[in-house]
Structure 1
């Protein structure tokens, strides 16, 4: 696995630098929280009655990146991230999912999202049919979504192996 480098977002950047810096910091923190878990730990449900797992959160965040940036904003014809049985991506896992596979997919989707957002202006509108939001909104939404689920991942990681912080 590649080393995880977290870079604190700049405190004096322009709007794009501030927003993308915050999102990249959160993305790296997701990787940091997920890395080091065993397969059993990653797929366990340590907080009952919740069915949330660390693996489910990472898979969900991968789908959210694809949905907002590649599908809705860029209008790319890529694989839909969720199944017909779960069209909103409510943390489903497949029998062949692994920690390494989920982390690799998350990193790849974040890289694609970075390429898409770097090539567009913050005021550019989504290209997918029926979408009217601007890139600025999509980035802000991903900051919120990633931060919210990172809080869940924090609690699950602490309940799983006691790791806290960072």
Structure 2
């Protein structure tokens, strides 16, 4: 499996710039998990319980949650639609334990493809980044994210977890330049 990490563009439209950073950090996370055994994906860096396997599944959920569920107001897709969120708010992280790397990476890669298609659909319908997403978070307060907010938030989400991934990966096999 070859995973590419594109470099963010120096010149681009606002959407193009945000998407290039998002793609860069998506690639970073997948690279940090590449080449490891399934058992290594379950390793933590104490005292945290974060794992690279859990991170792959969590980010697949976050992709679907923001781009499909919120941006386009679609119902959750499997496995998120039947996840026992009431029993475990961190089910996405915890349920990855013991799952094969290929399964977790495919879950994230597929979520990224769906997310990009959702974003393309939304921007084709209305390219305005300041427009609200289809599903308000708290309509009573008038709290609704914009398309711009979703893109910036996703860059932040991946960038934050890329730092975690760097530390976890280095603790597993010493790799510092993945």
TM-score (norm 2): 0.84
Confirm whether residue 61 of structure 1 aligns to residue 56 of structure 2.
no
**Residue 76 of structure 1 is aligned with which of 71, 74, 77?**
74
Q: How much has 1:18 moved relative to structure 2? A: 0.5
Secondary structure in structure 2 of the residue aligned to 1:145: helix
Task: Within 5 Å, give how 1:5-154 maps onto structure 2.
Answer: 5-45=4-44, 47-79=45-77, 80=80, 82=83, 83-87=85-89, 91-94=93-96, 97-119=99-121, 120=123, 121=127, 122-129=129-136, 130=139, 132-154=144-166
Superposed CA RMSD: 1.9
Q: How much has 1:125 moved relative to structure 2? A: 1.9
Contact 2:54 2:97 in 1 (8 A): no
Aligned equivalents of 1:141, 1:132: Cα separation in 2? 13
Q: How much has 1:86 moved relative to structure 2? A: 2.4
Aligned equivalents of 1:75, 1:10: Cα separation in 2? 30
Q: Stretches of 4+ moved more than 6 A in 1? A: none
Flag the 1:92–1:73 CA change in 2: closer, same or farther, 3 A.
same
Contact 1:63 1:89 in 2 (8 A): no
Secondary structure in structure 2 of the residue aligned to 1:31: helix
Aligned residue for 2:174?
162
Unaligned runs of 5+ in 1: none
Q: How much has 1:165 moved relative to structure 2? A: 1.7
Aligned equivalents of 1:75, 1:139: Cα separation in 2? 16
Q: How much has 1:117 moved relative to structure 2? A: 1.1
Aligned equivalents of 1:73, 1:89: Cα separation in 2? 22
Give CA deviations for 1:53-94 in whole Å, capped at 9, x if unaligned: 111111111111111111111111223365322235562224
- Return 84-93 or 26-35, whichever deviates more: 84-93
